Amino acid sequence: MTQTKEVSGARARKAQAYASAREVLLRCGMELLTEQGFSATGLEAVLKRATVPKGSFYYYFASKEAFGREVMDAYDAYFGKKLDRWLQDGSRAPLDRLMDFVADASAGMRKHEFRRGCLVGNLSQELGALPEAYRARLDAIFTGWQRKVAACLREAQLSGAVPAGLDCDQLAEFFWIAWEGAVLRARLLRNDQPLRNFIATFLVALGVRA
Amino acid sequence: MTQTKEVSGARARKAQAYASAREVLLRCGMELLTEQGFSATGLEAVLKRATVPKGSFYYYFASKEAFGREVMDAYDAYFGKKLDRWLQDGSRAPLDRLMDFVADASAGMRKHEFRRGCLVGNLSQELGALPEAYRARLDAIFTGWQRKVAACLREAQLSGAVPAGLDCDQLAEFFWIAWEGAVLRARLLRNDQPLRNFIATFLVALGVRA
């Protein structure tokens, strides 16, 4: 092996280790922020969970604020994919897809013993203590999720499953409004009954009885 | 004035000053916790807002945990009274009372430029970072509010304003589920549109079109 190859191999390994540690930090950030929000999460807790040496945080991120922004982006990417998987499942009727998503999210909450909520909901709730720039990002995430649910509701409308007169955008907004409240309540009660109440009542608002 | 009278007068003034400082601390705690939750609220910020000397907190409360419990109690008393005022207003039809409450709460949020949310919602959201004993208290507060809304819905049912077949307890639970999500979203957007969407869609779920 020539010296150049050795150097570039070492560089590649270093770059890979860097990228991998960054990824682990973001994943641990997502976990902690869905559990307890931004304010209550110290960088030490993130580093400890990620088993990345204390004091090396600023090697990976410019600040806690910058880290939070990247955690929000990573969560949006993760959750958006999950939503697409359920809401674009052509083998299921549009309203069944909505119910599938809720059932899957319920199972996910149960798996983590209802300790984890919604990262976007958590951060919205503690807005008063967050960097002002987070507000627009959180709003944009909700708007993106809303578009996905509105598209699903419009498919339901086209198929005749819900009345033609319904305002799908308003109902999609309502879906996420009530969803955040349902997740909050499910964590409090440590069971999925609020999520079941949520989807059943949402279907009633659509003019459908579950 | 005899010496005894002077002493007992001084004692009474001291007791009054103590009670009054405690009350101011609880009020400031309510304000801060509705703005930014428990974890982000340091005792120093509470003392500063209350203009009570730094370092004297433990003269009034045994711990931050004990303080938080009393703040929750004070908020529940305050909010319960507010709910009764609107939901037991016999001069208004039951569903109008619900809408009155939402309109009043919207005006309150606007007054504080949508910086304040719901204290119980905030604390529920950051549950992972709170003393375990808070959970039961928060749940009990929601249950109390639910009873008040369920009673109002039953009155609406008796008057024929909503269908006899509706499950008022389930809908009252849903009311607070969606309410918390609506307050969260109103803070994020800094406008009351989510609250208007919330009450309009809730009425649809009741089988009533606003």
Q: Of A171, A177, A200, which has the smallest distance from its Cβ to B178's Cβ?
A: A177
Q: Which of A31 and A1 is assigned the larger pLDDT? A: A31
Inter-chain CB proximity B125 and A177 less than 8 Å: no
Tens-digit pLDDT profile for residues B74-112: 999 999 999 999 999 999 999 999 999 999 999 999 999
Question: What is the SS3 assignment for A162-203?
Answer: CCCCCCHHHHHHHHHHHHHHHHHHHHHHCCCHHHHHHHHHHH
Tens-digit pLDDT profile for residues B177-190: 999 999 999 999 99
Cα A28 from chain centroid (whole Å):
14
Q: Give pLDDT, residue A23.
A: 96
Q: Which of A40 and B4 is assigned the larger pLDDT? A: A40
Inter-chain CB proximity B188 and A36 less than 8 Å: no
Inter-chain CB proximity A204 and B205 less than 8 Å: yes
Inter-chain CB proximity A180 and B176 less than 8 Å: no
Chain A residues with CB under 8 Å of B153 CB are none
Q: Give pLDDT, residue A183.
A: 97
Q: What radius of gyration, in Å, describes the C-alpha atoms of chain B?
A: 20
Tens-digit pLDDT profile for residues A176-190: 999 999 999 999 999
**Half-sphere exposure in the Cβ direction for B193 (13 Å, CA):** 8
Inter-chain CB proximity A126 and B128 less than 8 Å: no
**Half-sphere exposure in the Cβ direction for A133 (13 Å, CA):** 7
Which of these, A71, A81, A62, lies nearest to A32 by C-alpha position? A71
Q: How many CB pairs under 8 A join A and B?
A: 145
Q: Of B139, B178, B188, which has the smallest distance from its Cβ to A181's Cβ?
A: B178
Tell me the C-alpha distance between A145 and A52, whole Å. Answer: 33
Chain A residues with CB under 8 Å of B202 CB are 205
What token pair was written down for A201? 């009542």
Tens-digit pLDDT profile for residues B33-55: 999 889 889 999 999 999 999 88
H helix count then E strand count, chain B? 9, 0
Chain B residues with CB under 8 Å of A176 CB are 181, 185
Q: Give pLDDT, residue A55.
A: 85
Q: Give pLDDT, residue B76.
A: 98
pLDDT (mean) for A53-60: 91
ipTM score: 0.91
User: How close B147 comes to chain A (CA, Å)?
Assistant: 16
In a mutagenesis test of the B interface, which of A173, A180, A208 is the best target, namely the one with the most B β-carbons within 10 Å?
Answer: A180
Burial of A195 (0-12, 13-18, 19+ CB in 10 A): buried
What token pair was written down for A130? 């967050």
User: How close B178 comes to chain A (CA, Å)?
Assistant: 4
pLDDT (mean) for A22-37: 94
Tell me the C-alpha distance between A166 and A174, whole Å. Answer: 12
In this prediction, residue A40 has a pLDDT band, given cuts at 50, 70 and 90, of confident
Which of these, A200, A164, A170, lies nearest to A182 by C-alpha position? A200
Inter-chain CB proximity A36 and B128 less than 8 Å: yes
Is-contact B56 B82, C-beta < 8 A?
no
Q: Of B125, B174, B187, which has the smallest distance from its Cβ to A184's Cβ?
A: B125
In this prediction, residue A3 has a pLDDT band, given cuts at 50, 70 and 90, of low
Domains, chain B: 3-205 (1.10.357.10)
Tens-digit pLDDT profile for residues A88-147: 999 999 999 999 999 999 999 999 999 999 999 999 988 888 999 999 999 999 999 999
User: How close B88 comes to chain A (CA, Å)?
Assistant: 25
What token pair was written down for B48? 């500063």
Residues listed for chain B: 210
| Prediction pTM value | 0.92
